[in-house]
Amino acid sequence: MTDQSLTRDTLEARLRAIGAERYHDKHPFHHRLHAGECSMDEVRAWVVNRWHYQASIPMKDAAFMSRCTDPGLRRIWRSRIEDHDGGVDAGGGIRRWLKLAEAVGLDPDYVASGQGVMPATRFAVDAYVRFVREAPLVAAMASSLTEMFAPAIHTQRIAGLLEHYGFATDETLAYFRQRLNEAPKDVGFTLEWVLEHARTRAEQEDAIAALSFKTDVLWAQLDALWNGYVEGRIPPGAWRPGEGLA
Amino acid sequence: MTDQSLTRDTLEARLRAIGAERYHDKHPFHHRLHAGECSMDEVRAWVVNRWHYQASIPMKDAAFMSRCTDPGLRRIWRSRIEDHDGGVDAGGGIRRWLKLAEAVGLDPDYVASGQGVMPATRFAVDAYVRFVREAPLVAAMASSLTEMFAPAIHTQRIAGLLEHYGFATDETLAYFRQRLNEAPKDVGFTLEWVLEHARTRAEQEDAIAALSFKTDVLWAQLDALWNGYVEGRIPPGAWRPGEGLA
Protein backbone atom coordinates (compact mmCIF):
# COMPACT_ATOMS: atom_id res chain seq x y z
CA MET A 1 0.00 0.00 0.00
CA THR A 2 1.08 3.52 -0.67
CA ASP A 3 0.71 6.30 1.87
CA GLN A 4 -2.40 7.53 0.12
CA SER A 5 -4.34 4.30 0.25
CA LEU A 6 -7.26 3.94 2.64
CA THR A 7 -7.10 1.58 5.57
CA ARG A 8 -9.24 -1.50 5.29
CA ASP A 9 -11.70 -0.10 7.85
CA THR A 10 -11.97 3.24 6.09
CA LEU A 11 -12.59 1.58 2.75
CA GLU A 12 -15.31 -0.59 4.27
CA ALA A 13 -16.86 2.48 5.90
CA ARG A 14 -16.80 4.39 2.60
CA LEU A 15 -18.52 1.48 0.85
CA ARG A 16 -21.17 1.18 3.55
CA ALA A 17 -21.77 4.93 3.49
CA ILE A 18 -22.92 4.64 -0.13
CA GLY A 19 -25.75 2.43 1.04
CA ALA A 20 -26.74 4.92 3.70
CA GLU A 21 -26.72 7.74 1.15
CA ARG A 22 -28.05 6.37 -2.10
CA TYR A 23 -29.37 2.82 -1.94
CA HIS A 24 -32.83 2.47 -3.44
CA ASP A 25 -34.48 1.70 -0.10
CA LYS A 26 -34.72 5.50 0.04
CA HIS A 27 -36.67 5.81 -3.18
CA PRO A 28 -40.33 6.85 -2.83
CA PHE A 29 -41.47 4.00 -5.07
CA HIS A 30 -40.29 1.51 -2.49
CA HIS A 31 -41.97 3.39 0.33
CA ARG A 32 -45.17 3.34 -1.69
CA LEU A 33 -44.84 -0.34 -2.52
CA HIS A 34 -44.05 -1.47 0.99
CA ALA A 35 -46.75 0.70 2.55
CA GLY A 36 -49.43 -0.88 0.39
CA GLU A 37 -50.04 2.34 -1.54
CA CYS A 38 -49.25 0.99 -4.99
CA SER A 39 -52.19 0.15 -7.23
CA MET A 40 -52.10 -3.36 -8.68
CA ASP A 41 -51.09 -1.85 -12.02
CA GLU A 42 -48.14 -0.14 -10.36
CA VAL A 43 -47.18 -3.49 -8.81
CA ARG A 44 -47.50 -5.16 -12.22
CA ALA A 45 -45.33 -2.50 -13.84
CA TRP A 46 -42.70 -3.15 -11.18
CA VAL A 47 -42.86 -6.91 -11.81
CA VAL A 48 -42.65 -6.49 -15.60
CA ASN A 49 -39.68 -4.15 -15.42
CA ARG A 50 -37.75 -5.75 -12.62
CA TRP A 51 -37.94 -8.96 -14.60
CA HIS A 52 -35.37 -7.47 -16.94
CA TYR A 53 -33.06 -6.86 -14.01
CA GLN A 54 -33.56 -10.35 -12.57
CA ALA A 55 -33.10 -12.00 -15.92
CA SER A 56 -29.90 -10.06 -16.57
CA ILE A 57 -28.20 -10.93 -13.27
CA PRO A 58 -26.92 -14.38 -14.29
CA MET A 59 -25.69 -12.88 -17.59
CA LYS A 60 -23.86 -10.28 -15.52
CA ASP A 61 -22.32 -13.03 -13.40
CA ALA A 62 -21.34 -15.00 -16.48
CA ALA A 63 -19.72 -11.85 -17.88
CA PHE A 64 -17.72 -11.58 -14.67
CA MET A 65 -16.66 -15.22 -14.76
CA SER A 66 -15.63 -14.87 -18.40
CA ARG A 67 -12.85 -12.62 -17.10
CA CYS A 68 -11.67 -14.67 -14.12
CA THR A 69 -8.50 -16.62 -14.72
CA ASP A 70 -8.66 -18.19 -11.26
CA PRO A 71 -10.79 -21.36 -11.20
CA GLY A 72 -11.21 -20.95 -7.44
CA LEU A 73 -12.86 -17.58 -7.91
CA ARG A 74 -14.98 -18.92 -10.76
CA ARG A 75 -16.17 -21.86 -8.62
CA ILE A 76 -17.33 -19.53 -5.89
CA TRP A 77 -18.94 -17.08 -8.27
CA ARG A 78 -20.76 -19.85 -10.11
CA SER A 79 -23.12 -20.33 -7.19
CA ARG A 80 -24.69 -16.99 -8.07
CA ILE A 81 -25.71 -18.27 -11.47
CA GLU A 82 -27.02 -21.45 -9.86
CA ASP A 83 -29.07 -19.36 -7.42
CA HIS A 84 -30.78 -17.52 -10.24
CA ASP A 85 -31.07 -20.20 -12.90
CA GLY A 86 -31.41 -23.32 -10.73
CA GLY A 87 -31.82 -26.77 -12.24
CA VAL A 88 -33.97 -27.66 -15.24
CA ASP A 89 -36.76 -28.98 -13.04
CA ALA A 90 -36.54 -26.85 -9.93
CA GLY A 91 -35.55 -23.54 -11.52
CA GLY A 92 -34.13 -20.76 -9.41
CA GLY A 93 -34.65 -17.10 -8.63
CA ILE A 94 -35.81 -16.27 -12.13
CA ARG A 95 -38.54 -18.86 -12.00
CA ARG A 96 -39.52 -17.62 -8.55
CA TRP A 97 -39.90 -14.14 -10.03
CA LEU A 98 -42.36 -15.55 -12.54
CA LYS A 99 -44.36 -17.02 -9.64
CA LEU A 100 -44.72 -13.49 -8.38
CA ALA A 101 -45.73 -12.39 -11.88
CA GLU A 102 -48.48 -15.02 -11.93
CA ALA A 103 -49.64 -14.01 -8.48
CA VAL A 104 -50.23 -10.42 -9.60
CA GLY A 105 -52.27 -11.61 -12.56
CA LEU A 106 -49.65 -11.40 -15.31
CA ASP A 107 -49.03 -14.05 -17.93
CA PRO A 108 -45.56 -15.37 -17.01
CA ASP A 109 -44.73 -15.95 -20.68
CA TYR A 110 -45.46 -12.30 -21.39
CA VAL A 111 -43.23 -11.20 -18.53
CA ALA A 112 -40.48 -13.61 -19.57
CA SER A 113 -40.60 -12.30 -23.13
CA GLY A 114 -39.31 -8.95 -21.88
CA GLN A 115 -41.84 -7.17 -24.10
CA GLY A 116 -43.14 -4.13 -22.36
CA VAL A 117 -39.98 -3.42 -20.38
CA MET A 118 -39.38 0.34 -20.44
CA PRO A 119 -36.38 1.50 -22.50
CA ALA A 120 -35.06 3.34 -19.45
CA THR A 121 -35.01 0.05 -17.53
CA ARG A 122 -33.06 -1.62 -20.32
CA PHE A 123 -30.59 1.24 -20.58
CA ALA A 124 -29.84 1.07 -16.85
CA VAL A 125 -29.68 -2.71 -16.51
CA ASP A 126 -27.69 -3.20 -19.69
CA ALA A 127 -25.21 -0.58 -18.51
CA TYR A 128 -24.67 -2.73 -15.42
CA VAL A 129 -23.99 -5.91 -17.41
CA ARG A 130 -21.54 -4.04 -19.60
CA PHE A 131 -19.83 -2.47 -16.64
CA VAL A 132 -19.16 -5.88 -15.15
CA ARG A 133 -17.88 -7.10 -18.50
CA GLU A 134 -15.48 -4.20 -18.96
CA ALA A 135 -14.48 -2.49 -15.72
CA PRO A 136 -11.33 -3.39 -13.78
CA LEU A 137 -11.97 -6.68 -11.96
CA VAL A 138 -12.08 -5.21 -8.46
CA ALA A 139 -14.56 -2.57 -9.59
CA ALA A 140 -16.68 -5.16 -11.40
CA MET A 141 -16.81 -7.13 -8.19
CA ALA A 142 -17.50 -4.12 -5.97
CA SER A 143 -20.52 -3.21 -8.08
CA SER A 144 -22.32 -6.25 -6.67
CA LEU A 145 -21.90 -5.02 -3.10
CA THR A 146 -25.35 -3.46 -3.08
CA GLU A 147 -26.10 -6.92 -1.68
CA MET A 148 -24.74 -5.60 1.62
CA PHE A 149 -27.83 -3.42 1.82
CA ALA A 150 -30.36 -5.86 0.36
CA PRO A 151 -31.37 -8.01 3.34
CA ALA A 152 -32.92 -5.04 5.16
CA ILE A 153 -35.02 -4.04 2.15
CA HIS A 154 -36.05 -7.63 1.44
CA THR A 155 -37.18 -8.09 5.05
CA GLN A 156 -39.17 -4.84 4.86
CA ARG A 157 -40.64 -5.83 1.53
CA ILE A 158 -41.77 -9.26 2.65
CA ALA A 159 -43.46 -7.78 5.71
CA GLY A 160 -44.99 -4.87 3.78
CA LEU A 161 -46.32 -6.96 0.91
CA LEU A 162 -47.73 -9.65 3.24
CA GLU A 163 -49.49 -7.00 5.28
CA HIS A 164 -51.00 -5.01 2.44
CA TYR A 165 -51.61 -7.14 -0.65
CA GLY A 166 -53.82 -10.17 -1.18
CA PHE A 167 -51.45 -11.69 -3.72
CA ALA A 168 -48.62 -11.92 -1.20
CA THR A 169 -48.04 -15.33 0.34
CA ASP A 170 -44.96 -17.28 1.40
CA GLU A 171 -45.07 -19.01 -1.96
CA THR A 172 -45.43 -15.94 -4.15
CA LEU A 173 -42.74 -14.06 -2.24
CA ALA A 174 -40.33 -17.01 -2.31
CA TYR A 175 -37.92 -15.00 -4.45
CA PHE A 176 -37.23 -12.51 -1.67
CA ARG A 177 -37.19 -15.08 1.12
CA GLN A 178 -34.64 -17.11 -0.77
CA ARG A 179 -32.45 -14.06 -1.37
CA LEU A 180 -32.25 -13.61 2.38
CA ASN A 181 -30.46 -16.96 2.50
CA GLU A 182 -28.30 -16.43 -0.57
CA ALA A 183 -27.10 -12.83 -0.38
CA PRO A 184 -25.15 -13.04 2.92
CA LYS A 185 -22.83 -15.79 1.62
CA ASP A 186 -22.19 -13.80 -1.56
CA VAL A 187 -21.61 -10.52 0.14
CA GLY A 188 -19.34 -11.90 2.85
CA PHE A 189 -17.00 -13.32 0.25
CA THR A 190 -17.16 -10.34 -2.10
CA LEU A 191 -16.62 -7.67 0.52
CA GLU A 192 -13.61 -9.56 1.85
CA TRP A 193 -12.22 -9.95 -1.66
CA VAL A 194 -12.64 -6.27 -2.50
CA LEU A 195 -11.10 -5.11 0.80
CA GLU A 196 -8.19 -7.45 0.20
CA HIS A 197 -7.56 -6.71 -3.49
CA ALA A 198 -8.28 -3.00 -3.78
CA ARG A 199 -4.85 -1.91 -2.55
CA THR A 200 -3.86 1.29 -4.27
CA ARG A 201 -5.88 4.40 -3.68
CA ALA A 202 -6.91 4.39 -7.34
CA GLU A 203 -8.26 0.84 -7.06
CA GLN A 204 -10.08 1.76 -3.89
CA GLU A 205 -11.67 4.80 -5.45
CA ASP A 206 -12.67 2.66 -8.45
CA ALA A 207 -14.38 0.22 -6.10
CA ILE A 208 -16.25 3.01 -4.34
CA ALA A 209 -17.29 4.57 -7.66
CA ALA A 210 -18.43 1.16 -8.91
CA LEU A 211 -20.74 0.69 -5.96
CA SER A 212 -22.07 4.21 -6.42
CA PHE A 213 -22.67 3.47 -10.11
CA LYS A 214 -24.63 0.37 -9.13
CA THR A 215 -26.88 2.39 -6.83
CA ASP A 216 -27.53 4.65 -9.84
CA VAL A 217 -28.59 1.59 -11.85
CA LEU A 218 -31.11 0.65 -9.17
CA TRP A 219 -32.36 4.19 -8.56
CA ALA A 220 -32.88 4.92 -12.25
CA GLN A 221 -35.15 1.88 -12.56
CA LEU A 222 -37.43 3.20 -9.83
CA ASP A 223 -37.42 6.73 -11.22
CA ALA A 224 -38.58 5.30 -14.54
CA LEU A 225 -41.32 3.29 -12.80
CA TRP A 226 -42.51 6.32 -10.90
CA ASN A 227 -42.57 8.48 -13.98
CA GLY A 228 -44.29 5.88 -16.12
CA TYR A 229 -46.82 4.37 -13.77
CA VAL A 230 -47.32 6.61 -10.75
CA GLU A 231 -47.31 9.82 -12.80
CA GLY A 232 -48.79 8.02 -15.79
CA ARG A 233 -46.32 9.08 -18.46
CA ILE A 234 -45.77 5.64 -19.96
CA PRO A 235 -43.07 5.79 -22.65
CA PRO A 236 -43.85 4.56 -26.19
CA GLY A 237 -43.76 0.77 -26.49
CA ALA A 238 -43.80 0.02 -22.76
CA TRP A 239 -46.33 -2.17 -20.92
CA ARG A 240 -49.74 -0.60 -20.48
CA PRO A 241 -52.32 -1.62 -17.88
CA GLY A 242 -54.48 -4.42 -19.24
CA GLU A 243 -51.68 -5.92 -21.37
CA GLY A 244 -50.02 -9.26 -20.67
CA LEU A 245 -52.61 -10.50 -18.22
CA ALA A 246 -52.96 -14.22 -17.53
CA MET B 1 -34.44 -9.10 -52.82
CA THR B 2 -36.53 -11.97 -51.58
CA ASP B 3 -40.30 -11.99 -51.86
CA GLN B 4 -40.62 -10.98 -48.25
CA SER B 5 -38.54 -7.86 -48.45
CA LEU B 6 -40.23 -4.48 -48.36
CA THR B 7 -40.23 -2.21 -51.38
CA ARG B 8 -38.08 0.84 -51.11
CA ASP B 9 -41.13 3.06 -50.69
CA THR B 10 -42.63 0.87 -47.98
CA LEU B 11 -39.37 0.81 -46.07
CA GLU B 12 -39.11 4.59 -46.26
CA ALA B 13 -42.72 4.92 -45.12
CA ARG B 14 -42.11 2.56 -42.17
CA LEU B 15 -39.07 4.60 -41.15
CA ARG B 16 -40.97 7.88 -41.40
CA ALA B 17 -43.89 6.44 -39.44
CA ILE B 18 -41.60 5.98 -36.44
CA GLY B 19 -41.08 9.71 -36.35
CA ALA B 20 -44.83 10.31 -36.47
CA GLU B 21 -45.39 7.86 -33.62
CA ARG B 22 -42.51 8.22 -31.20
CA TYR B 23 -40.13 11.06 -31.96
CA HIS B 24 -39.48 13.26 -28.94
CA ASP B 25 -41.25 16.27 -30.44
CA LYS B 26 -44.29 14.60 -28.82
CA HIS B 27 -42.80 14.62 -25.33
CA PRO B 28 -44.44 17.03 -22.86
CA PHE B 29 -41.04 18.41 -21.82
CA HIS B 30 -40.55 19.82 -25.30
CA HIS B 31 -44.03 21.32 -25.33
CA ARG B 32 -43.25 22.95 -22.02
CA LEU B 33 -39.87 24.22 -23.20
CA HIS B 34 -41.09 25.61 -26.48
CA ALA B 35 -44.15 27.22 -24.93
CA GLY B 36 -42.03 29.17 -22.47
CA GLU B 37 -43.40 27.24 -19.48
CA CYS B 38 -40.07 25.90 -18.24
CA SER B 39 -38.50 27.63 -15.27
CA MET B 40 -34.92 28.74 -15.80
CA ASP B 41 -33.80 25.82 -13.60
CA GLU B 42 -35.65 23.40 -15.85
CA VAL B 43 -33.93 24.98 -18.85
CA ARG B 44 -30.58 24.66 -17.06
CA ALA B 45 -31.23 21.01 -16.25
CA TRP B 46 -31.97 20.42 -19.93
CA VAL B 47 -28.74 22.18 -20.96
CA VAL B 48 -26.64 20.25 -18.40
CA ASN B 49 -28.06 16.87 -19.41
CA ARG B 50 -28.28 17.35 -23.13
CA TRP B 51 -24.63 18.30 -23.02
CA HIS B 52 -23.87 14.63 -22.47
CA TYR B 53 -25.81 13.76 -25.61
CA GLN B 54 -24.12 16.48 -27.69
CA ALA B 55 -20.68 15.57 -26.43
CA SER B 56 -21.24 11.89 -27.22
CA ILE B 57 -22.36 12.39 -30.81
CA PRO B 58 -18.88 12.72 -32.35
CA MET B 59 -17.77 9.69 -30.32
CA LYS B 60 -20.74 7.83 -31.76
CA ASP B 61 -19.72 8.90 -35.26
CA ALA B 62 -16.13 7.87 -34.64
CA ALA B 63 -17.40 4.47 -33.44
CA PHE B 64 -19.29 4.15 -36.70
CA MET B 65 -16.28 5.11 -38.78
CA SER B 66 -14.10 2.67 -36.88
CA ARG B 67 -16.17 -0.04 -38.55
CA CYS B 68 -16.29 1.30 -42.12
CA THR B 69 -13.89 -0.40 -44.50
CA ASP B 70 -14.91 1.94 -47.33
CA PRO B 71 -12.86 5.17 -47.33
CA GLY B 72 -15.60 6.81 -49.41
CA LEU B 73 -18.15 6.21 -46.70
CA ARG B 74 -15.69 7.34 -44.01
CA ARG B 75 -14.97 10.56 -45.91
CA ILE B 76 -18.65 11.41 -46.05
CA TRP B 77 -19.30 10.44 -42.44
CA ARG B 78 -16.32 12.46 -41.23
CA SER B 79 -18.16 15.70 -41.88
CA ARG B 80 -20.44 14.86 -38.95
CA ILE B 81 -17.49 14.90 -36.58
CA GLU B 82 -16.30 18.14 -38.14
CA ASP B 83 -19.74 19.66 -37.61
CA HIS B 84 -19.65 18.88 -33.90
CA ASP B 85 -16.00 19.35 -33.07
CA GLY B 86 -15.05 22.04 -35.57
CA GLY B 87 -11.55 23.49 -35.72
CA VAL B 88 -9.32 24.33 -32.78
CA ASP B 89 -10.16 28.02 -33.03
CA ALA B 90 -13.70 28.08 -34.33
CA GLY B 91 -15.04 24.99 -32.56
CA GLY B 92 -18.27 23.39 -33.70
CA GLY B 93 -21.62 22.27 -32.38
CA ILE B 94 -20.25 21.32 -29.00
CA ARG B 95 -18.80 24.75 -28.44
CA ARG B 96 -22.06 26.30 -29.63
CA TRP B 97 -23.84 24.24 -26.98
CA LEU B 98 -21.60 25.79 -24.35
CA LYS B 99 -22.62 29.25 -25.62
CA LEU B 100 -26.16 28.28 -24.77
CA ALA B 101 -24.97 27.07 -21.36
CA GLU B 102 -23.39 30.45 -20.69
CA ALA B 103 -26.50 32.25 -21.85
CA VAL B 104 -28.64 30.44 -19.26
CA GLY B 105 -26.20 31.38 -16.51
CA LEU B 106 -24.22 28.17 -16.23
CA ASP B 107 -20.46 27.93 -15.97
CA PRO B 108 -19.47 26.33 -19.30
CA ASP B 109 -16.59 24.48 -17.61
CA TYR B 110 -19.05 22.93 -15.19
CA VAL B 111 -21.32 21.83 -18.03
CA ALA B 112 -18.38 20.51 -20.07
CA SER B 113 -17.17 18.48 -17.08
CA GLY B 114 -20.28 16.33 -17.33
CA GLN B 115 -20.68 16.47 -13.56
CA GLY B 116 -24.29 16.65 -12.63
CA VAL B 117 -25.56 14.71 -15.65
CA MET B 118 -28.28 12.35 -14.43
CA PRO B 119 -27.40 8.64 -14.46
CA ALA B 120 -30.50 7.96 -16.56
CA THR B 121 -29.17 10.35 -19.22
CA ARG B 122 -25.84 8.55 -19.26
CA PHE B 123 -27.45 5.14 -19.47
CA ALA B 124 -29.53 6.17 -22.47
CA VAL B 125 -26.84 8.07 -24.37
CA ASP B 126 -24.14 5.50 -23.70
CA ALA B 127 -26.49 2.78 -24.96
CA TYR B 128 -26.68 4.71 -28.23
CA VAL B 129 -22.91 4.97 -28.65
CA ARG B 130 -22.55 1.25 -27.95
CA PHE B 131 -25.33 0.39 -30.34
CA VAL B 132 -23.56 2.20 -33.14
CA ARG B 133 -20.33 0.45 -32.24
CA GLU B 134 -21.86 -3.03 -32.22
CA ALA B 135 -25.04 -3.30 -34.29
CA PRO B 136 -25.04 -4.45 -37.93
CA LEU B 137 -23.77 -1.59 -40.08
CA VAL B 138 -27.10 -0.79 -41.74
CA ALA B 139 -28.82 -0.68 -38.35
CA ALA B 140 -26.04 1.47 -36.89
CA MET B 141 -26.58 3.88 -39.73
CA ALA B 142 -30.38 3.81 -39.55
CA SER B 143 -30.25 4.79 -35.89
CA SER B 144 -29.08 8.26 -36.95
CA LEU B 145 -32.19 8.80 -39.06
CA THR B 146 -33.98 10.66 -36.29
CA GLU B 147 -32.32 13.53 -38.16
CA MET B 148 -35.17 13.19 -40.65
CA PHE B 149 -37.46 14.54 -37.96
CA ALA B 150 -35.10 17.08 -36.41
CA PRO B 151 -35.49 20.15 -38.66
CA ALA B 152 -39.15 20.61 -37.65
CA ILE B 153 -38.37 20.48 -33.94
CA HIS B 154 -35.36 22.78 -34.32
CA THR B 155 -37.45 25.33 -36.18
CA GLN B 156 -40.14 25.15 -33.47
CA ARG B 157 -37.53 25.40 -30.76
CA ILE B 158 -35.80 28.45 -32.20
CA ALA B 159 -39.12 30.25 -32.57
CA GLY B 160 -40.38 29.17 -29.13
CA LEU B 161 -37.21 30.06 -27.27
CA LEU B 162 -36.86 33.43 -29.04
CA GLU B 163 -40.43 34.28 -28.18
CA HIS B 164 -40.41 33.26 -24.55
CA TYR B 165 -36.97 33.54 -23.00
CA GLY B 166 -34.68 36.52 -22.50
CA PHE B 167 -31.54 34.43 -22.92
CA ALA B 168 -32.49 33.41 -26.46
CA THR B 169 -30.75 35.30 -29.25
CA ASP B 170 -29.44 34.37 -32.66
CA GLU B 171 -26.03 33.94 -31.09
CA THR B 172 -27.05 31.76 -28.14
CA LEU B 173 -29.25 29.56 -30.33
CA ALA B 174 -26.56 29.18 -33.00
CA TYR B 175 -26.35 25.46 -32.26
CA PHE B 176 -29.89 24.83 -33.51
CA ARG B 177 -29.67 27.23 -36.43
CA GLN B 178 -26.53 25.51 -37.60
CA ARG B 179 -28.12 22.06 -37.33
CA LEU B 180 -30.78 23.23 -39.75
CA ASN B 181 -28.00 23.58 -42.33
CA GLU B 182 -26.14 20.41 -41.42
CA ALA B 183 -28.81 17.78 -40.82
CA PRO B 184 -30.38 17.76 -44.31
CA LYS B 185 -27.11 16.84 -46.02
CA ASP B 186 -26.52 14.04 -43.51
CA VAL B 187 -30.00 12.66 -43.66
CA GLY B 188 -30.25 12.71 -47.44
CA PHE B 189 -27.16 10.58 -47.76
CA THR B 190 -27.99 8.25 -44.87
CA LEU B 191 -31.58 7.58 -45.87
CA GLU B 192 -30.49 6.78 -49.41
CA TRP B 193 -27.76 4.46 -48.11
CA VAL B 194 -30.11 2.60 -45.78
CA LEU B 195 -32.80 2.22 -48.45
CA GLU B 196 -30.17 0.91 -50.83
CA HIS B 197 -28.32 -1.44 -48.47
CA ALA B 198 -31.09 -2.87 -46.32
CA ARG B 199 -32.14 -5.51 -48.83
CA THR B 200 -33.34 -8.58 -46.99
CA ARG B 201 -36.41 -8.34 -44.86
CA ALA B 202 -34.28 -9.07 -41.77
CA GLU B 203 -31.96 -6.15 -42.57
CA GLN B 204 -34.94 -3.91 -43.18
CA GLU B 205 -36.55 -4.85 -39.87
CA ASP B 206 -33.20 -4.27 -38.15
CA ALA B 207 -33.07 -0.78 -39.64
CA ILE B 208 -36.62 -0.02 -38.48
CA ALA B 209 -35.90 -1.37 -35.00
CA ALA B 210 -32.70 0.69 -34.85
CA LEU B 211 -34.57 3.89 -35.55
CA SER B 212 -37.19 2.97 -32.98
CA PHE B 213 -34.41 2.28 -30.45
CA LYS B 214 -32.98 5.73 -31.15
CA THR B 215 -36.33 7.37 -30.44
CA ASP B 216 -36.27 5.49 -27.10
CA VAL B 217 -32.86 7.01 -26.37
CA LEU B 218 -34.22 10.50 -26.96
CA TRP B 219 -37.51 9.94 -25.13
CA ALA B 220 -35.85 8.45 -22.05
CA GLN B 221 -33.71 11.58 -21.67
CA LEU B 222 -36.79 13.77 -21.52
CA ASP B 223 -38.60 11.44 -19.14
CA ALA B 224 -35.63 11.67 -16.81
CA LEU B 225 -35.63 15.48 -17.07
CA TRP B 226 -39.33 15.66 -16.35
CA ASN B 227 -39.05 13.36 -13.38
CA GLY B 228 -36.01 15.08 -11.94
CA TYR B 229 -36.75 18.74 -12.55
CA VAL B 230 -40.42 19.25 -13.32
CA GLU B 231 -41.60 16.80 -10.65
CA GLY B 232 -38.58 17.59 -8.48
CA ARG B 233 -37.33 14.08 -7.82
CA ILE B 234 -33.67 14.77 -8.57
CA PRO B 235 -31.67 11.54 -8.41
CA PRO B 236 -28.64 11.28 -6.09
CA GLY B 237 -25.55 12.98 -7.50
CA ALA B 238 -27.33 14.92 -10.25
CA TRP B 239 -27.21 18.69 -10.80
CA ARG B 240 -29.24 20.70 -8.31
CA PRO B 241 -30.51 24.24 -8.84
CA GLY B 242 -27.85 26.70 -7.73
CA GLU B 243 -24.94 24.47 -8.69
CA GLY B 244 -22.57 25.15 -11.56
CA LEU B 245 -23.58 28.77 -12.07
CA ALA B 246 -21.23 31.16 -13.83
A192 interface with B at CB cutoff 8 Å: no
Global ipTM: 0.86
Q: Are B188 and B12 in contact (CB under 8 A)?
A: no
Q: Are B143 and B132 in contact (CB under 8 A)?
A: yes
In this prediction, residue A189 carries a pLDDT of 94
Size of interface A-B (CB pairs under 8 A): 88
Q: Can you give the pLDDT of all 246 residues of chain B as single tens digits?
A: 456 999 999 999 999 999 999 999 999 999 999 999 999 999 999 999 999 999 999 999 999 999 998 989 999 999 999 999 998 888 899 999 999 999 999 999 999 999 999 999 999 999 999 999 999 999 999 999 999 999 999 999 999 999 999 999 999 999 999 999 888 888 899 999 999 999 999 999 999 999 999 999 999 999 999 999 999 999 999 999 999 999
User: CB atoms < 10 A from the CB of B188, how many?
Assistant: 12
A225 interface with B at CB cutoff 8 Å: no
B192-to-A181, B17, B64, B138, B198 alpha-carbon distances in Å: 57, 17, 17, 11, 10
The residue among B23, B27, B223 with the most chain A CBs within 10 A of its CB, best to mutate, is B223
CA of A218 to nearest chain B CA: how many angstroms apart?
Answer: 10
A183: pLDDT strictly greater than 90: no
A134 interface with B at CB cutoff 8 Å: no
In this prediction, residue A6 carries a pLDDT of 97
In this prediction, residue B2 carries a pLDDT of 53
Considering only the C-alpha atoms of chain B, give the largest distance between any 2 of them, rounded to a whole number of Å.
61
A124 interface with B at CB cutoff 8 Å: yes
| pLDDT classification of A18: cutoffs 50, 70, 90 | very high
Cα–Cα nearest to A216, from B224, B52, B120 = B120
In this prediction, residue A184 carries a pLDDT of 85
In this prediction, residue A135 carries a pLDDT of 95
Could you give the 3-state DSSP secondary structure of residue A87?
strand
A193-212 residues touching B, CB cutoff 8 A: 212
Domains for chain B: give ranges and CATH numbers: 8-230 (1.20.910.10)
B220 interface with A at CB cutoff 8 Å: yes
- Give buried/exposed letters for A36-53 (b at 16+ CB in 10 A, else e): eebeebbbbbbbbbbbbb
In this prediction, residue B3 carries a pLDDT of 64
Beta bridge partners of B245: B106
Q: How far apart are the first and last CA of chain B?
A: 58
A2: pLDDT strictly greater than 60: no
Residue-wise pLDDT tens digits, B99-128: 999 999 999 999 999 999 999 999 999 999
The alpha carbon torsion through A3, A9, A14, A19 (nearest 10 deg) reads 160
- Whether the model clears a pTM of 0.90, i.e. scores above it, the answer is yes
Residue-wise pLDDT tens digits, A47-74: 999 999 999 999 999 999 999 989 899 9
